[in-house]
Structure 1
Amino acid sequence: MAAPLLLYGGTFDPPHAAHGRLPQLAGQAIGASRVVWIPAAQNPLRTEQSAPPEDRVAMLEALLAGNAEAEIDQRELRRGGPSYFVETLRSFQAEDANIPLRFLIGADQALQFRRWHDWEQILDLAHPVIAPRPPHDRVALELVLEQLDEGQSRSGWWRGSVLDLPLDDVSATKLREALAESDQAALQAGIPESVLSVIRARGLYGRSDA
């Protein structure tokens, strides 16, 4: 069987250190042939306004500049509207049905995965790869998912998918707050200087001095 293709979607608003690090680690763990970052046009489960797509791509490019093997795929941005991941998976499958598809999500998304549009169809197209996140390590996250699954359809969809990766508590929400408050320590801990330079140059998140 061919090595899997690992897809990692998100708004990347802003992209932070974990957005670059965890997909690489996950890709190595599953023996992925490639890891592809996919910026969303519009997250259907998110209400707040994002930075413009071209700015989010520029920040993501800055984040991944040191990774020669990183790929950024903009098909969701070209498609526009709500970024339903099931449509993205169908388009990848149409390009090459022989390559197994995997998709990386964090613990927060795993816990609300049943809210995703056509989530059962997503599982028919690709296998999940789940990264734990504080306060849940791998064992704790599996226990919570087991409890949420009780009596539900497709129970156990996550079994064998939770990786034992380093826990990372960085979040884009907290970093947007840090940008608004000029919390330099929090910013430097979560956002690489290359991304901060893009934020400054473009005056994103109301900052020109991040």
Structure 2
Amino acid sequence: MTAAPGLALFGTSADPPTCGHQALLEGLTDRFAQVATWASDNPSKQHAIPLEQRLELLSTLVQSMQAPRLQLVQELSSPYAITTLQRAEARWPGCPLSFVVGSDLTGQIPRWKDAASLLQRCQLVIVPRQGWPIQHQDLDQLRNLGGQVEILPLTIPATASSSIRQRPAADQIPAALHPLLLKHNFYGFAPGSG
């Protein structure tokens, strides 16, 4: 497959990064010429560990993937997507930008800060997540706000950070992260857990 021109932007709470995050990043690097990711605070979520530690986990995952098209760009991090997009526009002027979200967020986007401006300035790429079907009325609402929407047909494992926060599951976390989780006892991971 020939990589699409431009840059895919994928921010995540990384609380913690899962095998689903890894599969998504792998799929994006197959599809796009460049992929930028970062760890962020989500204003509608309570985070289990501080941003600095979630960044350490995401950074370890990105390094372990050894994907030349993938880069960690923490300077893009903001609780607000529009701020991230403005930073990306300043960093890569003239580059076509695609903002990537999971299907679980599709219905929330119209309520985001300056959603119409965001949607009119980049392509919105939605990746289906198991258990979160894409609703046609949500797509219509995004398009009515000026959004150019692409649904990216990737197969993402049905892993959820929220489930791991409730019950450690080592098989749902990329192996490269296990030493850090054990070292810091993040998310209840300890020798013999999972």
TM-score bracket, normalised by the shorter chain, equals 0.7 to 0.9
Q: Which residue of 1 aligns with 2:137?
A: 147
CA contact (8 A) 1:23 1:104 kept: no
Return 5+ residue gaps in structure 2 as ranges. none
TM-score (norm 2): 0.84
CA contact (8 A) 2:96 2:122 kept: yes
Q: Deviations over 1:162-203 (max 9, x none)?
A: 122114211100111122xxxxxxx23310222121111012
Which residue of 19, 22, 38 maps to 1:20? Answer: 22
Q: Do structure 1's residue 63 and structure 2's residue 61 form an aligned pair?
A: yes
How far 1:158 sits from its partner (Å)? 6.2
How far 1:124 sits from its partner (Å)? 1.9
* Number of positions where the alignment pairs a residue of Structure 1 with one of Structure 2: 187
Structure-to-structure mapping, 1:14-93, within 5 angstroms: 14-29=16-31, 32-40=32-40, 42-46=41-45, 48-64=46-62, 65-69=64-68, 70-76=70-76, 83-93=79-89
The structure-2 alpha-carbon separation of the partners of 1:60 and 1:104, relative to structure 1 and needing over 3 Å to count, comes to: same
Q: Deviations over 1:77-129 (max 9, x none)?
A: 5xxxx611111111111123210000111010112211211111111221111
CA distance in 2 between partners of 1:96 and 1:188 (Å): 37
The one-letter amino acid paired with 2:65 is G
The one-letter amino acid paired with 2:83 is E
CA contact (8 A) 2:85 2:118 kept: yes
Question: Percent identical across equivalent pairs?
Answer: 25
CA distance in 1 between partners of 2:147 and 2:128 (Å): 12
Q: Do structure 1's residue 192 and structure 2's residue 174 form an aligned pair?
A: yes
SS of the residue corresponding to residue 97 of structure 1 reads coil
Structure-to-structure mapping, 1:120-159, within 5 angstroms: 120-136=116-132, 141=134, 144=135, 146-148=136-138, 152=141, 154-155=143-144
The structure-2 alpha-carbon separation of the partners of 1:168 and 1:111, relative to structure 1 and needing over 3 Å to count, comes to: farther
CA contact (8 A) 2:38 2:73 kept: yes
Report which of the two structures shows the higher radius of gyration computed on alpha carbons.
1
The structure-2 alpha-carbon separation of the partners of 1:45 and 1:157, relative to structure 1 and needing over 3 Å to count, comes to: farther
How far 1:54 sits from its partner (Å)? 2.3
Q: Which residue of 2 aligns with 1:163?
A: 152
Q: Which residue of 1 aligns with 2:111?
A: 115
CA distance in 2 between partners of 1:75 and 1:93 (Å): 12
How far 1:76 sits from its partner (Å)? 4.7
SS of the residue corresponding to residue 194 of structure 1 reads helix
SS of the residue corresponding to residue 124 of structure 1 reads helix
Which structure has more strand as a fraction of its residues? 2
CA distance in 2 between partners of 1:160 and 1:153 (Å): 8
TM-score (norm 1): 0.78
CA distance in 2 between partners of 1:193 and 1:66 (Å): 11
Q: Which residue of 1 aligns with 2:9?
A: 7
CA distance in 2 between partners of 1:200 and 1:67 (Å): 23
The structure-2 alpha-carbon separation of the partners of 1:76 and 1:83, relative to structure 1 and needing over 3 Å to count, comes to: farther
Return 5+ residue gaps in structure 1 as ranges. 180-186
CA distance in 1 between partners of 2:48 and 2:81 (Å): 18
Over the residues paired in the alignment, what is the CA RMSD in angstroms?
A: 2.4
CA contact (8 A) 1:17 1:63 kept: no
